[in-house]
Amino acid sequence: MMDDFILISTETPLISNLNMNENIALIKEVHKHLQIKEAEDIATKYLNKINLSKIGLLRLSQCKPIEIFYVMYIRALMMPEKNLVIVSPFNIIRNVKNMQDVIENLAILNDDKNILIIDTITNESRYKGVRCNMIK
């Protein structure tokens, strides 16, 4: 059983008056007491890993749902907990053509977290061909 976990869902939104770098960096600033510049450099490094550095200075309303999802994911990776639970990612992503690309990007970004994706059976077809375990 997972006692300590971070949750990514529609119930854990980003802060709308911060840009994407600030949303990610805030976690390191608060939990690790890093200086703003150092924390934002870490955020930029993570966005660069999946070629999204262009959204770093954008606000929430300027980003696509998939970009918002990745920022939520990176922000969660900044937390000290080892377990990360993603609840119904298609409620956040909404319209993604290739879930395999999303799963690959999650793996590129993840260094040491245990990831659990919880979704409804109605979304099962969206995971076809994706390398992840499906439990029914």
Over range 91-98, report the average pLDDT. 84
Q: Say how many C-beta atoms besides its own lie within 10 A of residue 88's C-beta.
A: 15
Q: Tell me how far apart the alpha carbons of residues 128 and 114 are, in angstroms, rounded to a whole number.
A: 22
Residue 14: strand, helix, or coil: coil
High-pLDDT (> 90) share of the chain, % = 68
pLDDT at 116 over 60: yes
Q: Are 47 and 53 in contact (CB under 8 A)?
A: yes
Q: Say how many C-beta atoms besides its own lie within 10 A of residue 9's C-beta.
A: 15
User: Between residues 28 and 131, which one has the greater pLDDT?
Assistant: 28
- Domain segments of the chain as ranges: 5-127
pLDDT at 18 over 80: yes
pLDDT in tens, 28-53: 999 999 999 999 999 999 999 999 99
Q: Are 31 and 79 in contact (CB under 8 A)?
A: yes
CA distances to 27, 28, 71, 81, 105 from 6, rounded to whole Å, are: 12, 15, 14, 7, 18
For domain 5-127, give its CATH number from 3.40.50.800, 2.40.50.140, 3.30.70.20, 3.40.50.300: 3.40.50.300
pLDDT value of residue 1: 46
Beta bridge partners of 6: 84
Q: Are 92 and 10 in contact (CB under 8 A)?
A: yes
